[in-house]
Structure formats: structure tokens, C-alpha cells
Amino acid sequence: MKRFVYINDDSCRYSYCDNRISNTKYTLWNFLPKNLWEQFRRFMNQYFLLIACLQLWSRITPVSPATTWGPLIIIFIVSASKEAWDDYNRYLSDKKANERKIWLVKNGIHRQIKAQEIHVGDVVWLHENDEIPCDLVLIGTSDPQGICYVETAALDGETDLKTRIIPPISANLSVEQLGKVKGVVECPNPDNDIRRFDANMRLFLPIIDNEKCPLTINNTLLQSCYLRYTEWACGVAVYTGNETKSGMSRGAAEPKLTAADAIIDKLTIAIFMFQIVVVLVLGYFGNAWKYTEGLKQWYLMYPVEGEAPWYDFSIIPLRFELLCSIMIPISIKVTLDLAKGVYAKFIDWDEQMFDWETNTPAHSANTAISEDLGQVEYILSDKTGTLTENKMILKRCCISDTSYGNDNGDQLNDVRLVNAISSNDPDVIKFLLVMALCNTVVPIKSNDDTVSYKAQSQDEEALVNAAANLNMMLISKDSSTAEICFNGSKFRYELLDILEFTSDRKRMSVVVKEGQTGKILLLSKGADEALLPRACPGQQIQRYLEAAEMYSQLGLRTLCLGWRDLKESEYKEWSKNFQEASCSLDNREFKIAEVCHSLERDLHILGVTAIEDRLQDGVPETIKLLRNAGINVWMLTGDKQNTAIQIGLLCNLITSGPGFESRSPRIAQAGVRLATDTLPQTPHRAGALCTGGKTEEDILRSLERALLIMKNTSETKDLAFVLDGWALEIILKHSKESFTRLAMLSKTGICCRMTPLQKAQLVAILKSAGYLTLAIGDGGNDVRMIQEANIGVGISGREGLQAARAADYSIGKFKFLKRLILIHGRYSYNRTAFISQYSFYKSLLICFIQIMFAFLSGLSGTSLFNSISLMAYNVFYTSLPVMTIIFDKDISETTVMQYPQILLHSQAGRLLNPATFCGWFGRSLYHALVVFFITISAYSDEKSEMQELSMVALSGCIWLQAFVVTMDTNSFTYPQILLIWGNFVAFYMINLILSAIPSLQLYTIMFRLCSQPSYWISMALTVAVGMGPVVAFRYFKNLYQPSAINILKQIEQSNGSIQTSGNLESARAKLTNLLTGSRKIRDSNYHPLLSDSAESAR
């Protein structure tokens, strides 16, 4: 579908929406029904609403409806208030943007309007530093060459300025004509692709002839960007309001379900099924007792036979359903959401993750998945800017079979190169000219006439700076010309066409015309595998192949440069085809690529450049630590295979042993190559399995061989597989399952020449196998990978903020990843595991007491506890103490970093799984038995009131939960002590106050109990019997079968003192055996964390 935008035509301006922006989710009228609908879409809320509605039926409810309606309404109000506040802030932001003043030009008259009043087809006039209010097609600027600069950081996160140029059709329009221009823009319907705009424009007579002019994204000014270093610019509005590319890109991200959340959901379903069974069993026996014994008891006042309603048989089961509904804790979601919000703040506040070099703090954009950080199984990392600094420096080069660069790798100080330039060696001069001209770099001249460069690519900036340092300086550039200064002489070149770089072509070219001779030249640069096959017949390229291999083995990034003279007739014919392809609205990108392909041939290869991109500080140590923690680390990069392998060696992804070598895919194409020749005989030495080949059959055969070696080699986790993008494409098409098995067997993967789509495909493969993945990158090409992963981490780097904006977490440097995972992730998982299981424990405890009381009340479904006590128990008495775990640390941060293998426990889900939940389930049942029988034994005589019995049982529950939280707390702080024991004191204060109100059932109850010694003896006995076996069990288990955590605590407490040095060494030896055993069990029978297999329940 197409859109026709008529410029300055009032009759068509209302055909499309105005420029009013609306990011709000609700209106004043639909807020209540829409918010309630969203909240009731959750199964748990539906369940509790059903229970609350059943409690309104007075015939069946054992307690007041307030026990469920109260907490439910509180939860709904909290959630609705948060939604309303967030939406109100969005409304204020929209209002500010909509009412911003904008200059409009109509029939030559400038007038100011609100931004929301702009319509499609209007001509908008912008001034320097203005924010662009809608998507515009640029038609004029203050620059004589038709250039303007825009800052796109708010749109794509990239911090470098972008150059935008006016289309040739409007190049000669005066300022007066711009205000009266008429024409039509033919463009696609609105979409969210900020990298692409395939359109055409025609201007109507009498201003210019009716020629069609192609438009690209470089001719647009997009909403949310800013005009910089340009006095004014004007453009035609083509997309407005929420139909702009920025508006179409907005939208709520899909919520991510953590592994812990998945376990909690399964446990909730299991408890629900258990509850149904309990209700049916108790309901059956309750009806049986009613018809055999209950009808005989006159004081129960059951209706006589024949007068009972038809549904009488369901009343007792429904009463038990209401009584047992508290098995599923109503407050668990709010409690976990609050805890996760605090986890996110801990990340934001962590000063040890603050990057002082760039003044960048760590930031958590997603507050819901912090515990997943502690269960990461695979890390897939970009290389450039993520593992490396993304500060490019040209170190070596090869020109005309001669390699330049001294022992220090600095080609700028190579005397031979300096002499070649001084003697005007033609190949060297051409080489430098391609470096200076074949790019999208923008030179900016300061007041003191010094020239600096703005570039979207750090490689291009490195090449242009190197050329300038070698006397080939790019001093000015606009849309049509470029000026070079070489050895004091200036040379002017006309820029005829730019053949832009794409990830598919892996090269870019420019067509220039020499100002002095009029010769037309094609200048090209690109990856060696993209450019060398396009060399002119007869040229010897073996030397360049060897140079590229040598440089890549040094870990340098390589590019090849080429040159071709074009005949004018050939260029004119090609230019016509290029123009037609550029004007096409269907498959424009493919057609342009085909036309570019036809010109980029018979190139004279000038040489190879080698650019250094140093590793970031702390990268090798971080990767080593993460691998020791049991995390599989993959590197995904667009670099050559040998460059990627060398970087893998430098950053501890691959461990080189004797005989290590890395072969070129050209030298050893077919079959599987081992980077360690002796690996099958010495499997303990790490190496790289390179999968590739010349043909599809070779690649698939090498994959099967690699898989066979992995299966038959002991300690396969020390092997890394290496493959490139083309091999991956073939493998995913023909043998995806075999590759998945290979990936599962290998601890390390190095994937080179990867496109952004392929990076995301690799993440998807691991996710589909059930593994919990983390993707980390720093550039726009990493966004798809980051969004695909379970956890996305963006680095705020030199490539901008696009990756950081799209990620769940952003950090300043890769080295902070170890702290994000090992400290914040592990602590968050431990805390979530306790909070979730404790929430079930406290609810099951009170529910089991209710069930036991049913056997003393004729299985009638009568509640032991009054309505106020039940509501307060869930909302106040037991919710605050559990929040103390938010501050808890089982072992210190230093110990975690010293023994990163301890992460295996959270990776394997050791603290939250069906087995641990059964432990909490059993504890709740045991504690319920203790509380019930001690209470009944002490207060079951005729002198005791029902309310006294209820309060004694409730007090026993409060005492037990206080000691349970205290025992499971590993570190104590003032907030923790205040919340646990302050809440304990508050329980008595609240009930003493309620006991003083005559109208309540609790009147005088607590005063009487507190004055009775039997009450305090009962409480002491409850704690002793309830906690004694638990304490004893833990003591003997820690003594005779300590866990790794217990041993680490022992090491921490000893502090390595001389007196305990023998025990300390023994403990450390035992710890090593435990962790090694955990790794062996994990590696030999390893199942994905998120797999549905029975074995992975872990």
C-alpha cells in the first residue's frame, strides 16, 4: 500500500491523522473497566474473585467476606494506583510534546502553531537545536550544499551526529520558493523501520519540471531527533502523530516469565489440585457425618428432611473450599513484585558497577527478572565494543605485496611507508585516497581551522584519521563534493554515487569524478571474502590472502581496498539502472544490491588494512570467572574466523595448549579442523573445533564429525566450536537438530561473520532447547539478539545507547557483568526462593490448623479463627517479616567472587524446586500439628471460650513464623531486626487494642490470656517443640553432611586463623570436592533449566 502526500494542499491535509501524540493506556472513562479487565485476566485474581463472591453467600461462608474482599481490594487498589500514576505521567509528557510551538510555512507566510496541529503535507520550518515534531522529508537547509546534521540518540541510541541531505530535485529552490512549493511524495504506509524509507517525490510546475526523484532515509528528519549545527531546515510532513516511525516503534514489551516464576506457577497449580482433593474428601465425609450424626443433634438446627434445598449436598464442600482457599497466598504476587523492585534498585545503586570513565551507572529497566540473572546458563556476547573498547587504531597494512608496520605494530612510524608516500608511489597514493574518500565520515572544521571527524563507524574513523596522519587529509565534504589535501596541495572530487554498506554485501563503494582530469573512479572497501573474489582477472591476490590471515591471527580487524577506472559510457548506463532501482518502491534494497553488484567487479586490489581494537579492562578475568561459575560463554562477531579465534584466546574463551594453531577456512576448507592437533589424544587440552567447508556437503559432514568428536572426547566442555555465518545458514537449513546437540555439548562457541538476524537465531536455538540465555551487546546490530534472549544486557558504549535502551539491564563495561550475575543475580534468586516458599508455608500453616479443627467440629466447615484475625494474619502479621530477606546475604560478596562455582546451586534451582517445596510443605504440616495439639491440650476445657482458643492458636503461628524467619536469615541488620521482632511486638499491641473494644468478639481476650501463665508456657512449648527438631536436623546435617554454603560460612567465620588452620584446610578440601562433584554431575547429565523434562525439575 502507498501513501500520496500532496505538499501544501489544503484539500488533502485532513486525509490522515493530525500530529497529536498519545502514549496513554487509559482515558478517564475507560480506566476502571479496562484496568479491572487487565487485572482479572490473571488466573490467581480470577480465583480469589470467585472465592470472594462465594463468601457473599451467607449460607456457606464460614467467615466474614472481609477476609478475602479486604486483601483483594487492597491489592487491586495498589496495582490500579501504580497504573494510574504511570499513565498520568505519560499524559503530562504527551501534553508537553503536543503543545510545543512549531513554525509552519504556508504560501510564503511563517506562522507559529502547536505541534499537535501539524497535518500531513504541511511544510515545517525548524531552527538549530529544535526537536523534530514529526517525520519530515527534507527539502531545504541553511547550508549551501543542502546538508544538515541531526542527533538521533533519542530514536536509535546512537550518539554520533547523522548527516541528512536534501534530494537533488529541491537543491536549487530559494527560501521564497520553499514556502510556496507544490508537489507530491509517494511513500509507503507508516512502518517502524527507522533504517529505511523507500519513496519518490515530484515537484509541480512552474517551480521545476515534473521529474521523479528517489528518496531514502538520508533525505528524512524523523520525530524525536534534534537539529544540530544547522541554522535552519525545512521539510514536508509525511507521517504524523502515532503514525511516525518513532510512534510505530513504541509499545509495551512482552512480559518475561522468569524460571522462578514458572516454578511458582507450577507449585500454585499443584497446591490448587491438592486443595480440590482436600475439599472433596472433607466435603464427602462432612455430608456423611451430617446425615448420620448431625441431623440427630437438635442444636445444629439442620433443616428437616424434605425441606432442604436441592443444593444442600454442596454446602459443606463449598464451606471447605472457602476455608481452604488461603492455601494459595493472596499476597504472594504483591510481595514478590515489591521484592523485585528493591532488587532492581540495588543494581541501580551499586557504586561498584558505576563506570567512572564514562560516568555511566548500571541501570535495571526490567524489574521483574532479577532472579533469572542468578540462573543464567548461556551468555552470548558481541565482540566489538562489548569485549573490546571499540577504539580503532590502524596498526598494519599491506600495499602492493609489501607489509608495513614495525615490531610495535605501528604502521605510521614505518620508514618504508613514509618514504613510499614521499616518492609518490602510485599504489600507496591510491590506497590512501580510498581510505580518505570511501566512507560516510563528516569532517568538521573548528574555529582554529583544525579538522575533526564524525563517523557512524569506528573503523571508518580510524582509516580517515590514519590517512590524515599520512598526509592524505579529508578537509571538507558535502552531498556532492569532497576536498582532499595531500602534501599541501588540494584536490577536489565530485561525489557521483554512494553504494552503501549492508550486512549482506559486506562492502561499500563510492563513485567519484576527479576535478582536474574528469576521470570517473570506483573506490571500494570491504571484507576480504567480499572484495577479493571481485578482483580483476589475472591479478595475484595470494599475498593479500596471506596478509589478511596473518593480521587476523594477531587479532586485528581486516579490510580490503580496491579501485577501478570507469568509462563515462559505462557509468552513464549503470547510473540509469541505479536511478531506476533507487526509485522502485518494491524490493528496492534487493534491486539496488543487484545493480551495485554489476559495477563492483574487475577491481584492482590495492591492499589490506589491519585495525586494532583492544580488549576492555577486566574482560579475560570476567570470562574466566563466569566460566568457573558454570556458565557457557559464546562470542558472536562479524569479524574473520582467525581474528575471532585470536580474540577468544586473549579473553580466555579458548585455552591454548601445545600445538595450538588456527587455520584459515581457505587453507583447510573441508572437514573438521581442530585448533589443537593433539586434542583427541590429549583431551584435557582445550581447543577449537572449526566447522566449515567449500560446499554444503562438506559443511554438513564437518558438523557430524564435530558432533562425533564432542561425544567421544572426555571433558567435552573444554572444547569450543567455531563456525561462520555461511556455514550456520546451511546448517540451520539442513541439520538444525545436530547443531543444537553440538551447542549443548560445547561450553564455548565462537561464531564469526554473523549478521544481526543470525545472532538472534542462535539465541532462539538455545532458548528452544530450554536453556536460560543472556545476550550482551553495545550496538544497534545487537538489538535483535538482546530482545530475543531471556535476559538482555546492553553496554553504553561508543556505538551509542540503542542496545542499552532495548535491554533489560545496562552497564558501562563488560567486567560489571560478573557482579550483575554472581552478586545481584544469585542473591535475588536466593531471596525469591525463600519469599515464595515462605508465603506458601504461612498460608498452609493456618489452613492445616483449620482442617484439623474441622475434625473437632463435626466436619461442618466451621472456622477456628475470626474474620479480623484471618485478614490481619495475611496482610499485616506475616507480610512484613518476610521482607527482611530482601536484605539477606547467605555468604559475603567476597566469598562469592572467590568461589564462583557456588552459582551452580542457583543455576540448578537447588533452592526452589518441588523437593524444597515439599520440605516447606512438611514443615507447615508439622508446625500446624504442634500448634493445634498444644492449643487444644491447654485450652480445650469447658472454661475456655472459642475466641481464646483461636487467639492461642494464632499466637502460636506468629511465634513460629518469627523464629522461622530468624533462623533462615543469614545476616542481621537493623531493618531486619525491626521488621521481624517489631512486627512481633505489634501483633500484641494491635490485639490488646482490639481487646479493649467492647463491640468486638475479641473484647478482653488478649488481656485475659496475657495474665495467664499457661498462655506463655504454651507459647514456649510451641516454639520448643516446633523449632527443636528443625534446629537439631540442621545441626547434625551441617556437622556430618555439610553443603557447600555451610562450608563457605565456616571458612568465613574462621577467617583463616592459625588456630583453625587444620580445620580450615579440611573444609576447603571438602568444598572443592563438593563443587567438583556438582560440576561433574551437572556436565554428565545436564538438562536445560527451562526444559519440561522430568529430570530438569531439579
Q: Enumerate residues 6+ apart whose C-beta is below 8 A from 920.
A: 837, 838, 840, 841, 844
Distance CA 394, CA 417 (A): 13
Note the helical H segments in 408-457.
415-422, 426-437
What nine digits make up the cell of 645?
579465534
Taking the C-alpha atoms of residue 141 and residue 126, their distance in angstroms, rounded to an integer, is: 9
Task: Tell me phi and psi for residue 241, to 5 degrees.
Answer: 60, -135
Angle at the Cα of 756 from the Cα atoms of 754 and 760, rounded to 5 degrees? 95
The Cα–Cα gap between 782 and 797 comes to 12
Peptide bond into 206 cis (omega under 30): yes
Which pairing describes strands 232-239 and 220-221: parallel, antiparallel, or unpaired?
unpaired
Spatial distance between the Cα atoms of 617 and 594, rounded to a whole number of angstroms: 43
Residue of 624, 645, 625 lying closest to 635 (CA atoms): 645
Task: Using alpha carbons only, give the angle 796, 800, 805 rounded to the nearest 5 degrees.
Answer: 65
Whole-number Å distance between alpha carbons of 1087 and 771: 8
Answer yes or no: are the C-beta atoms of 932 and 853 closer than 8 Å. yes
Q: Which regions of 870-987 does DSSP assign to beta strands (E)? A: none
Exposure letters 227-260 (e unless 16+ CB within 10 A, then b)? bebbebbbbbbbbbbbbbbbbbeeeeeeeeebbb
The CA distance from 1001 to 869, in Å, is 11
CA distance 635 to 729: 17
What is the chain's alpha carbon radius of gyration, rounded to the nearest angstrom?
36
| Options 18, 130, 382, 724, the catalytic residue | 382
Sheet with strand 687-691: strands edge to edge: 363-364, 809-811, 791-795, 773-777, 378-382, 632-636, 748-752, 719-724, 687-691, 672-674
C-beta atoms surrounding 658 within 10 Å = 9
- In DSSP terms, 490 is beta-bridged to 485
**Known catalytic residue at 528:** no
**Host H or E run for residue 731:** helix 725-734
Of 725, 770, 781, 723, whose CA–CA distance to 750 is shortest? Answer: 723
Question: CA 61 to CA 318: how far, in whole Å?
Answer: 8
Using an 8 Å Cβ cutoff, are 590 and 549 in contact?
A: no
Residue 613 DSSP code: E
SS3 category, 554: coil
Residue 12, Ramachandran bin (φ over 0: left; ψ between -120 and 50: alpha; else beta): alpha
d(CA 640, CA 557): 8
3-state secondary structure of 102: strand
Active site residues: 382
